[in-house]
């Protein structure tokens, strides 16, 4: 029986069963069927845009400036990729790396880096997070949430301490997200 089915399939492919248009039709059906099956497996995810990242970074730099401080601000997308980085005047160069790591840490752990730092100090098993090179357990990193979904994160460094860094980051996120949707 299998031999008969194989011969029919071969004749169909060669166009002798149903004419040459059947092969095109069969290909279209296979494409439609596979795309429908694939849609169920493809995830659509929101992520921070360049426009939104720039708005948040600019608002964060401004919040620090109003507080009499200068800082570095890094914004990463939901994949941990750097989207934008802004550096205020007279900020030490190590703060650029710190801001990026704080943003990545907040994104990766889905929590503020100050909370993570407190947990690491209180829980001996969490202290091992300090051994992960990409993470920085200092306050100043916050996740960016949109409709209860992580879309990126902000990291701030160099404004005069982790509490000040986090305050600037929070003000920047609030101001950036308050912008009209068309400009995000």
Q: What is the pLDDT of residues 124-134, one digit of tens each?
A: 888 778 778 88
Superfamily name and number for 50-183: Haem-degrading domain (3.30.450.150)
Rg of the Cα atoms in the chain: 26
On whether the CB atoms of residues 71 and 91 are closer than 8 A, the answer is yes
Mean pLDDT, contiguous 10-residue spans, the chain (184 residues): 58 56 55 61 89 97 95 98 96 97 97 93 83 90 95 98 97 92 57
Nearest to 114 by CA among 162, 73, 75: 162
The domain locations on the chain are 2-39, 50-183
Q: What is the pLDDT of residues 94-143, one digit of tens each?
A: 999 999 999 999 999 999 999 999 998 898 888 778 778 889 999 999 99
Q: What tokens does 5 get?
A: 């089915």
């Amino acid at each position: 029986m299998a031999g008969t089915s194989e011969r029919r399939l071969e004749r169909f492919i060669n166009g002798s069963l149903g004419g040459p248009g059947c092969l095109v039709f069969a290909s279209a059906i296979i494409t439609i069927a596979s795309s429908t099956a694939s849609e169920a497996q493809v995830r659509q995810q929101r992520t921070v845009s360049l426009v939104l990242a720039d708005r948040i970074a600019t608002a964060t730099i401004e919040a620090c400036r109003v507080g009499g401080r200068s800082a570095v601000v890094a914004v990463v997308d939901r994949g941990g990729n750097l989207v934008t980085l802004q550096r205020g005047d007279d900020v030490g160069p190590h703060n650029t790396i710190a801001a990026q790591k704080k943003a990545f840490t907040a994104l990766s752990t889905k929590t503020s880096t100050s909370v993570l730092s407190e947990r690491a100090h209180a829980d001996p098993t969490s202290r091992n997070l300090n051994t992960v090179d990409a993470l920085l357990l200092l306050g100043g990193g916050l996740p960016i949430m949109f409709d209860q979904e992580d879309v990126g994160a902000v990291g701030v460094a160099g404004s005069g301490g982790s509490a000040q860094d986090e305050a600037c980051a929070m003000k920047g996120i609030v101001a950036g997200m308050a912008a009209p949707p068309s400009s995000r």
